[in-house]
Structure 1
Amino acid sequence: MKRFWIGFLAGLLLPVVLLTIVLAMFQLGLYWRARVPDQATLVVELSGEFPELPGPVLPFPLDDAARRATLRNFWELFDRAAKDPRVRAVLLEIGSLDVGWGRLQELAWGIDKLRRANKSVVAYLRVPGARQYYLACGAGQVYVSPESWLDLKGLRAELVYLADGLRKLGVQVELERAGRYKDAGDMFTRNTISPETRETMDAILDELYGDLVRRIAKGRGMPEDKVRQLLDQGPFLAQQAARERLVDGLLYPDQVEDRLRQQLGQERLRKVFSGDYLRATAKRPRRPHRVAFLVAQGTILPGEEDDWTGHRLLFSDTFRRWVDEIRDDQKIEAVLLRIDSPGGDAVASDEILRALKQLRARKPLVISMSDTAASGGYYIAMTGDPIVAYPGTVTGSIGVLYGKLTLRGLYEKLGMRKVILKRGQFADIDSDYEPLSEKAREKLREGVNRSYQAFLEKVAEGRKTKVEQVRQYAEGRVWLGSQAARHRLVDVVGGFDAALAKVRELARIPPDEPIVLIPYPPRRPLLDILENILASQWSWLRWGLKGESLGSLLGALRPGPWALMPWSIEFH
């Protein structure tokens, strides 16, 4: 019997061991094959969302490296290629982009760096929209397909208001807020835009539209007035775009490569793809300075991260654990904190800020803002350290909000009733059946105002100024990074280059000595994540068998003050 079980287990383990060896050899083969020829053309596919954090480590090649690459990987790609004498040209294949204006500007600056290094940069627009064209304007040549069109017509913002529809359903949203611009929740309580929201959105659109116009004018060699006239005439058929000199030609992808080959004087284009290039140039320097690259990404919530949510949410306990690990690691010399968060739970935000202050007492800290670092996302940046933001970063929103749903009307429409028995004057303050009384509103208003005052004080301390000075630019108003810099809410307008320059300055790292960024949280193997998810199923099953209510599960999103950005911005 013993021999049977030994043979049985060996039969199970042997295929796993062999598969592991085969996959390891495959991965080694990728590195062995990766090489950069002289007079190379670097082919870069720009599409997707360019996340701040990479996905799990895959045990086999489900996807190519370029698609899994982070924004930081593309920054490294452009930086290395600009300095590499073997790279003569760069072919950008620009597809669908799911990025905000901050990440878009980082990519655009990377392309500009290639041009300054005298590389021949050619852009082919697979999906010719405004964001794609924004990037393409950094190239020396821009092409689209003959049967394509250029969807370039300016920018617009669309805001949805649901109050009348919710009223018909019997749903009432009750809000208490601190800050007249703190319009989170307006979509549920209003049926049109408020003057404050219109003022904010007009200022943001003006700033971004101006940035778009300036980039097109510089890239295409046109006066800005001419660009504004053209934007009023868009979108354009491919032939119209060529006639207006918005593109340099109407070619198919193979024709673009053939034209580039002729321009380089090569019989065959010496292509190297971005994933291969990153692998071929990934040489670990001797004795580098180790800098933690700590990413704070997603809506801020209390508690621990699980393997279902991954890094889409920012849980305070999990994040503080990473901060403690960095603080205690003697090999890490400095920290670059990367924030991409619209905020969230006010208490969880405060816990994260405290952990970061303890970290900065031990190591130099620089803060780099991505697409969004607003409300609670701005709050956690108030450590007193340098803040670097893109011109298009959405930030500010210094304000506090409390809201709840009252569903009594909906229950009645469905023929449902609730009977509430309580002990304590405010025991039903967060009930979804009873609307807020005037005394309950006063109670909530007191808490919201106190949280807002604490927010102002933390910002004043972090920005080394007075509360009254902060109050002028608070009130829940959202700012772009360029606007925030004018109001001293951030220190430097820039991206990775500017942030790392600040790291070198604070950590006293000479410019000629190498830095290695150590990512936190680190990548996890996919099999490890799946194992933890499967192991957690029994806990979920027991939760269901115990008859716990859905409200108990949703209780993780606890009531209380929220420092949350009022809306997200998508550009069309």
Structure 2
Amino acid sequence: MAKYLLGVISGIFLCFFLALLLVVVMVSLSGRPPSVAAGSTLVLDLGGEIVEHNPVNVSAVFFQHGMKPTLKDVHDILQKAAVDKRVNGILLKPGGVAVGWGKAQEIRADLEEFKKSKKPLIAFVQVAGTREYYLASAAGQVYLAPEGLLDVKGLRAEVMFFKDTLSKIGVEANLEHIGKYKSFSEPFTQNKMSDAYREVTNSVLDTVLNNFLVTVGAARKMSPEDLRAALDKGPFLPQQALQARLVDGLLYEDQVLEEVKKLTKAKSVKKLKVEDYNRISLESLGLAGGNRIALVYAVGGIFRGEDQFDPLGGDQGIASDSFTRLLRDVGDDKSIKGVIVRIDSPGGDAIASDQIWREMNLLRTKKPMVISMSDVAASGGYYMAMSGDPIVAYPGTYTGSIGVVA
């Protein structure tokens, strides 16, 4: 019996040791930079959610390849590809992109910056919605699959109202708001949009659409008015998209690769995966150096107290005590010469927001501080931003503070 138990225990320890060894090997391999062949074409697959930063969790520590691409990853990849002599161009493949308009505009600006390198940027889409087409239009050539779909037809906003549903189960929402345009409570207290809610929603849609028409119209050599008239006929089957001058050709992916080969003047297309190229350091291409700048992420809802850490899901929003402590650490670190606070937050607790605002004002007296807004910097997120100078946002950033609700 004792020998049996000893064997079981030994087996458990052996399995644990082998699993640990496997993890160490995988981490070692994932940290090793890949080799990039001369004349490589970077295939930039943009799909799914592109986050501001990856939260720290158990899976992220051991399996970096499973982490979502961040917005900074995309920025760095394009910056590296522009100067890397081994990269001869980019094949952009946007599909199912889950970002707000602030992030979409930032990525497109980075694509435009890459084009200054004079390297080819070609886009290929199979099914493209408004955001995918917005990104693809930055390319010199845009190709649509022969059996694809260009689902571009303008913008819309949908809001669900729950007042009548709640009343059927005997629930009445007791919410009060201060400010004519503070519409957060309306889905629970009304059964349709108020005039103020409709006004602000239309204003946001008009702003984003006008930017889309001007930007994409310039890329496609169309006036905003002509592009608007074309979009009113959407969505588009392949031949319709070609006739409307929204794409440059109808090609399968292998045919697009032939076009890439012609534009890059290469004998063959050496495809470089974006997840591999992401492991190439900025330092190796001479893109890092100078003063040390802290990039502080303020992402998610704002609440009082400490971080609510989830070992599987990671950080959960902006905790006032934890965040202010981080700001103090940054302020006390003499090696840090400046701070960028990146905000992507719809707001939250008023007291927590005020606590963070106070600490950010104190940090500003110690070091230069720039506020960079992402998709959203609203309510408490906007309150935090008021401590910075300058404050930078994109036309599609949803920002401002229009009242309170309780």
1:140 aligns with 2:140: yes
Separation in structure 2 between the aligned mates of residue 62 and residue 84 of structure 1, nearest angstrom: 24
CA distance in 2 between counterparts of 1:128 and 1:28 reads 38
1:68 partner SS: coil
Pick one of 332, 344, 361 that aligns with 1:328.
332
**What amino acid maps onto 1:343 in structure 2?**
G
- Cα distance in 2 for partners of 1:7, 1:339 equals 55
- The Cα of 1:223 is off from its aligned counterpart by 2.1
Q: 1:350 aligns with which of 354, 364, 385?
A: 354
Secondary structure of the structure 2 residue equivalent to 1:218: helix
Deviation at 1:382, TM superposition (A): 2.0
Structure 2 match to 1:374: 378
Distance (Å, rounded) in 1 between the aligned partners of 2:293 and 2:64: 30
- CA shift at 1:347, angstroms? 0.7
> TM-score by structure 2 length?
0.90
Secondary structure, aligned partner of 2:396: coil
SS of the residue corresponding to residue 221 of structure 1 reads coil
Give the drift of 1:236: 0.7
Do the aligned partners of 1:148 and 1:238 also contact (CA within 8 Å) in 2? yes
Distance 1:28 1:282 in 2: 19
Deviation at 1:39, TM superposition (A): 2.6
Instruction: Measure, in 1, the Cα distance between the counterparts of 2:63 and 2:388.
Output: 43
1:204-256 Cα deviation digits (max 9, x unpaired)? 11111111111221121122221111111000111211222211222222221
Deviation string for 1:506-562 (max 9, x for gaps)?
xxxxxxxxxxxxxxxxxxxxxxxxxxxxxxxxxxxxxxxxxxxxxxxxxxxxxxxxx
> What is aligned with 1:307?
309
Please state if 1:253 is matched with 2:257.
Answer: no
The answer to whether the 8 Å contact 1:297/1:311 transfers is: no
Equivalents in 1 of 2:183, 2:203: separation in Å? 16
The match for 1:289 is: 291
Tell me the equivalent position of 2:364.
Answer: 360
Structure with higher Rg: it is 1
In 1, Cα distance between equivalents of 2:316 and 2:306: 13
Q: Residue 176 of structure 2: SS of its match in structure 1?
A: strand
Equivalent position SS for 1:166:
helix
1:242 alignment partner AA = L
What is the CA-CA distance between 1:384 and the residue it aligns to? 4.4
Identity %: 41
Counterpart position of 1:238: 238
Q: Relative to structure 1, is the Cα distance of residues 266 and 390 closer, same or farther in structure 2, using a 3 angstrom cutoff?
A: same
Aligned to 1:385: 389
Residue identity opposite 1:318 in structure 2: S
Match of 2:223, as an amino acid? P
Amino acid at match of 2:308: D
Partner of 1:154: 154
**Equivalent AA in structure 1 for residue 396 of structure 2:** G
Separation of aligned partners in 1, 2:378 and 2:99: 17
Task: Please give the alpha-carbon distance, in whole angstroms, between the structure 2 residues aligned to 1:207 and 1:13.
Answer: 62
Deviation at residue 38 of structure 1 after TM alignment: 2.5
Partner of 2:225: 225
- Specify the alignment match of 2:199 in structure 1: 199
Matches of 1:183 and 1:172 in 2, distance apart? 17
Distance in 1, matches of 2:272 and 2:192, equals 52
Query: Which residue number in structure 2 is paired with residue 49 of structure 1?
Result: 49
Question: Which SS does the other structure have where 2:366 is aligned?
Answer: coil
How much does 1:137 deviate?
Answer: 0.4
Residues 541-552 of structure 1 aligned to structure 2 (within 5 Å): none
Task: Please give the secondary structure, in 1, of the residue aligned with 2:115.
Answer: helix
Which residue identity does 2:161 align to in structure 1? Y
1:558 corresponding residue in structure 2? none
Instruction: Give how far 1:90 is off.
Output: 0.3
Cα distance in 2 for residues equivalent to 1:364 and 1:384: 9
What letter corresponds to residue 290 of structure 1 in structure 2?
A: R
Alpha-carbon spacing, 1:314–1:90, altered in 2? closer, same or farther (3 Å): same
Q: Is the 8 A contact 2:375 2:396 kept in 1?
A: yes
Name the CA distance, whole Å, in 1 between partners of 2:72 and 2:156.
29
Summarize the Cα distance change of 1:225–1:287 in structure 2 as closer, same or farther, 3 Å threshold: closer
Q: How far apart, in 2, do the equivalents of 1:385 and 1:6 lie?
A: 66
How far the C-alpha of 1:21 sits from its partner, in A, is 4.2
CA distance in 2, matches of 1:398, 1:58: 38
CA-based RMSD of the aligned residues comes to: 2.7
Q: Which residue of 1 aligns with 2:320?
A: 316
Partner letter of residue 212 of structure 1?
Answer: F
1:298 alignment counterpart: 300
Name the CA distance, whole Å, in 1 between partners of 2:393 and 2:185.
26
Verify the 8 A CA contact 2:126 2:149 in the aligned structure 1. no
| Distance in 1 of aligned mates of 2:27 and 2:309 | 26
**C-alpha spacing 1:330/1:148, structure 2 compared with 1 (3 Å):** same
Aligned partners of 2:303 and 2:318 also within 8 Å? yes
